[in-house]
């Protein structure tokens, strides 16, 4: 694979952008590779600066569920371009997107648009604290909720580790209020709530985890979170920035029939443009300014270009059969990858829900971040490099999920499985 142009661009980027990238994982450091600079995309394919064509399983880290350059989304964006791209005043598209989300996600009665998933979770946490008058946040190890100070606590395994900022620059005074528990550890959660439930403002969770690799909730885990938060007057926040409109039309909450108090969205809801949103119970959302006292604002929030792309995407994914079709393709891919590994005698642990999938290089089972870390990372890195050489574009980290889009056809899925078959033999 030619990479001269990408390498040249990366060298330039490294002199003027920290690490050469505007978001860390893109730099491909953990896999020891240099990033490919992308020039354009179409459907399931990316075309890089050196003219390589790659089958894309990153999908801009989640948003591109329709594939790249979907004509309906492009038309919607084009119509906005002809009217002006930002007014800082209300537009009809904001109302339409709010109504659409509310119609698809039963727990959401009111919703506020922001510009990223990070902003959505930060705002939802502030709202939960403002509403309950409490400060403590409970999260789970290996879950990612954006880069807000309160969420950057990776407590490692074990119960409720305190006072450990996960990043320099985050005051201990802030993370003191964040308690992080092992994902799927129901006993630890029960014990924590019994001891400190009355101090907890919110419990936030990736209801299907995608940021430690793909990890599904164990039977009863999410309903336990629901019961215990209700019992102690804490709010339950489902961070569906990744899973919303990805695992199913109604998100994880629709799939498992659990109603959180607040939900956060991003990625698909913006159709590839910068959007996030938080919403939920009307009585809680009524506390958001200017309806209530909890302050949150944004110069570009509800931006018409972003609303148009999001709304067009939401309309396309609401078509009958959309998710069945996507899930079928994803299952075929995951079964093919598992079979390729089996034939090469490589222990892997594959799983998917909807069009979100993952594969760990361990025999599993993987229920937590600690389990995920038993994956053979040397083997993952070799797999990543081998697949990229064969023009299969995967996330450059074991601890990320993969995404299939509507634009992936059986030809792309088959080519991916064939590539995996030959790469697995070399691992």
Just list the catalytic residues: 144, 239, 267
Cβ nearer to ligand PLP, comparing 197 with 266: 266
Which 267-306 residues touch ligand PLP, going by CB under 6 A? Answer: 276
Which 141-180 residues touch ligand PLP, going by CB under 6 A? Answer: 144-146
Question: From residue 70 to residue 109, what is the string marking binding to ligand PLP with x (rule CB under 6 A)?
Answer: ----------------------------------------
Number of residues this chain uses to bind ligand PLP (CB under 6 A):
15
User: Residue 327, interface with ligand PLP (CB under 6 A)?
Assistant: no
Distance between start and end Cα atoms, the chain: 20
Q: Which of 104, 93, 103 is nearest to 311 (CA)?
A: 93
Cβ nearer to ligand PLP, comparing 211 with 362: 211
CB contact at 8 A, 382 and 427: yes
Question: From residue 115 to residue 144, what is the string marking binding to ligand PLP with x (rule CB under 6 A)?
Answer: -xxx--x----------------------x
113: Cβ contacts below 8 Å, ≥ 6 apart: 94, 97, 98, 275, 276, 277, 298, 301, 302, 307
Q: What are phi and psi of 262, to 5 degrees?
A: -130, 150
The burial of 320, by beta-carbon neighbours within 10 Å (0-12 exposed, 13-18 middle, 19 or more buried), is given as exposed
Question: Min. distance of Cβ 210 from ligand PLP in angstroms?
Answer: 6
Q: Which of 295, 297, 360 is nearest to 334 (CA)?
A: 360
Nearest-CB residue for ligand PLP: 117
Residues 37, 53: Cα–Cα separation, whole Å: 12
Cβ nearer to ligand PLP, comparing 169 with 293: 169
Which 208-267 residues touch ligand PLP, going by CB under 6 A? Answer: 210-211, 239, 241-242, 266
Residues 80, 74: Cα–Cα separation, whole Å: 10
Angle at 323 between CA 39 and CA 412, to 5 degrees: 45
Question: Min. distance of Cβ 24 from ligand PLP in angstroms?
Answer: 11
Interface positions with ligand PLP (CB under 6 A): 116-118, 121, 144-146, 206, 210-211, 239, 241-242, 266, 276
């Amino acid at each position: 694979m030619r990479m001269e142009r990408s390498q040249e661009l990366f060298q330039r980027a490294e002199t003027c952008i920290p690490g050469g990238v505007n978001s860390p994982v893109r730099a491909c450091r953990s896999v020891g590779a240099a990033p490919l600079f992308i020039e354009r995309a179409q459907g399931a394919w990316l075309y890089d600066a050196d003219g390589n064509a790659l089958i894309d399983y990153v999908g801009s880290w989640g948003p591109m569920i329709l594939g790249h350059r979907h004509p309906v989304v492009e038309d919607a964006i084009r119509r906005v371009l002809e009217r002006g791209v930002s007014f800082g005043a209300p537009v009809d598209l904001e109302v339409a997107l709010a109504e659409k989300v509310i119609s698809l996600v039963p727990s959401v009665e009111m919703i506020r648009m922001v510009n990223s998933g990070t902003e959505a979770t930060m705002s939802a946490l502030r709202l939960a604290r403002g509403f309950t008058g409490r400060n403590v946040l409970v999260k789970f190890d290996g879950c990612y909720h954006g880069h807000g100070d309160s969420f950057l606590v990776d407590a490692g395994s074990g119960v409720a580790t305190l006072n450990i900022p996960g990043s320099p620059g985050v005051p201990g005074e802030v993370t003191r209020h964040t308690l992080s528990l092992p994902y799927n550890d129901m006993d630890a959660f029960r014990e924590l709530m019994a001891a400190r439930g009355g101090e907890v403002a919110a419990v936030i969770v990736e209801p299907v985890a995608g940021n430690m690799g793909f990890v599904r909730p164990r039977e009863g885990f999410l309903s336990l979170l629901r019961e215990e938060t209700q019992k102690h007057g804490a709010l339950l926040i489902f961070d569906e920035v990744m899973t919303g409109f990805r695992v199913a039309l109604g998100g994880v909450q629709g799939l498992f029939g659990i109603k959180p108090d607040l939900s956060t969205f991003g990625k698909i809801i913006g159709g590839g443009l910068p959007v996030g949103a938080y919403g939920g119970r009307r009585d809680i959302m009524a506390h958001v300014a200017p309806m209530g006292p909890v302050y949150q604002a944004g110069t570009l929030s509800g931006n018409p270009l972003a609303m148009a792309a999001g709304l067009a995407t939401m309309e396309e994914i609401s078509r009958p059969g959309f998710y069945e079709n996507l899930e079928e393709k994803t299952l075929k891919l995951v079964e093919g990858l598992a079979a390729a590994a089996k034939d090469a005698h490589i222990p892997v642990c594959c799983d998917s829900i909807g069009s979100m999938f993952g594969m760990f290089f361990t025999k599993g089972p993987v229920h937590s971040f600690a389990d995920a870390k038993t994956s053979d990372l040397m083997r993952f890195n070799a797999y990543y490099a081998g697949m990229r050489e064969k023009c299969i574009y995967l996330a450059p980290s074991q601890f990320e999920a993969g995404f299939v889009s509507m634009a992936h056809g059986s030809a792309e899925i088959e080519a991916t499985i064939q590539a995996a078959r030959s790469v697995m033999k070399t691992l």
